[in-house]
Amino acid sequence: MIWDTTETFKFFAAFFLAFRAFLVGIGCLTLITGGIGVTNIMNVVLEERTKEIGVKMAVGARKSTIMLQFLFETGVLTIIGGGLGFLLAMLVIWAYPVSLIEYLGVPVVNTYGAVFAILVLGIVALVSGIFPARRAANLEPVKALKLF
Confirm if 137 and 42 have CB atoms less than 8 A apart. no
Q: What is the pLDDT of residue 14?
A: 94
Residue 148 has pLDDT above 70, yes or no: no
More confident site: 103 or 59:
59
Q: What is the pLDDT of residue 147?
A: 63
pLDDT tens, position by position, 127-144: 888 988 898 888 888 877
pLDDT tens, position by position, 12-41: 999 999 998 998 889 888 888 888 888 898
pLDDT tens, position by position, 82-115: 889 889 988 988 888 888 888 888 888 888 888 8
List the chain domain ranges.
31-147
